[in-house]
Amino acid sequence: MKKIAYIELDTHAEIASNFKDLTKNSEEFEVDFYLSEKILKQLGLSQSDNVFHSSAANLLYQLSRKRYDLVIIGTVHRYFNVFNEVCTKYRTSVIVHNLNFSRLSKFYLFAKIFKKNFTYRLKLLLKEGLLEAPEIYKNASHLLVLDENLARENLKFLPVFYTRSQNNEKHSVFTVVIPGAVSQQRRDYRMIFSTIPAFPKNQRWEFVFLGKATGNELKSLQNLEHTKPERVEIRYFTEKVNQREFDEWMEKADILWCPVQSETEFFSNPEIYGKTKMTGNIGDAIKYSKLAVVPEDYYSSFKFIIPQEKDIVRQFLALKEKHFDFEKKYSYDFVSRDLHQLLQAII
């Protein structure tokens, strides 16, 4: 059997978890997971035969104790000096989350230090080899993306999102879930706040802002509670939503409303959702088998990602009756098969 090391020291815990689930019964690959303490806690994991507590300080030593045919790095947003050494010593594939960031030269990376978060970015420069980032993407055997719409000749699609439930139960209350931290920076919540008061009274509606709300967005939600129509319920959270509660609301949702901002930035560098960066709402839609409504200008070829129309009420009611068979393409067996084919090609 081929041996694979999967590394996640920073973020994207769910990607590591999905990869673990999809390869746990593999007859072709043995996978070891090197995870930071933060990731282990988020996933509720402890050390085992193939799960190791790791850090930038001991990762290279841990990898040297075994022979790996392939190393996969889940996130390259820090520890650049360590990951560059991994890329030079092992056949390494890197998951790219921000395409424009991955193309920045050393000069532009250095210039970005002074744009924001100076102290943290100076630490990345002096202690974590920030200027080695371009070398990582050059030395990696393959670059991987999680959205097939972003795949190109030099960017291979890594299938890790699969459907875990398909709940088609109908409720008298129409539940609209807006997943993600409530921040205007990533999503256009102002549009939602101004639209909800116009929803008609002949239908019971429930809007769930499924993420921690703070600052101006929290104040807007509190104001909305007093101005909402009679048959509209507003639910929001002032603390981080735990996984169990998140799962429950996502299961209950009739539709996901995802007002993703078309442009965002990473490391003070512009990224465009659907073109250089993937929104996590795509993974949410697949996992919970839900149709998702996104802004009209969001590019996606997925049939379950629906551009928002002007008459949002009519659109929501029509989509409630629409069925998309997620099992056809995103079942565990289907995605596991595709993942194994990809691993065979890059190992």
Q: What percent of the chain stands above pLDDT 90?
A: 89
Is 80 inside any structural domain?
Answer: yes
Distance CA 311, CA 127 (A): 52
Average pLDDT for 175-200: 92
Residues 213 and 253 grouped into a single domain:
yes
Residues 199 and 255 grouped into a single domain:
yes
The total number of structural domains in the chain stands at 2
Is 169 inside any structural domain?
Answer: no
Q: What percent of the chain stands above pLDDT 70?
A: 99
Residues 66 and 84 grouped into a single domain:
yes
Average pLDDT for 164-183: 86
Residues 280 and 297 grouped into a single domain:
yes
For tokens 């002949």, the residue is: 202
The answer for residues whose C-beta is within 8 angstroms of residue 11's C-beta and 6 or more apart is 75, 77
Residue-number span of the structural domain to which 263 is assigned: 174-330
What is the reported pLDDT for 165? 74
Distance CA 60, CA 318 (A): 54
Is 167 inside any structural domain?
Answer: no
Is 165 inside any structural domain?
Answer: no
97 sits in the region (left: phi over 0; alpha: psi -120 to 50; else beta) called alpha
Indicate if the pLDDT at residue 169 is higher than 90.
no
Average pLDDT for 226-242: 93
Is 166 inside any structural domain?
Answer: no
Average pLDDT for 242-253: 94
Residues 155 and 189 grouped into a single domain:
no
Assign 153 a pLDDT band (cuts: 50, 70, 90).
Answer: confident
Strand-strand pairing, 142-145 and 2-8: unpaired
Beta-bridge mates of residue 205:
174, 232
HSE on the CB side for 90, CA within 13 Å? 27
* CATH code at position 77: 3.40.50.2000
Residues 320 and 214 grouped into a single domain:
yes
Q: Give the pTM.
A: 0.94
Lowest mean per-residue pLDDT among 40-54, 78-92, 156-170, 184-198: 156-170
Residues 214 and 309 grouped into a single domain:
yes
Is 26 inside any structural domain?
Answer: yes
Residues 150 and 202 grouped into a single domain:
no
Residues 6 and 117 grouped into a single domain:
yes
Residues 199 and 79 grouped into a single domain:
no
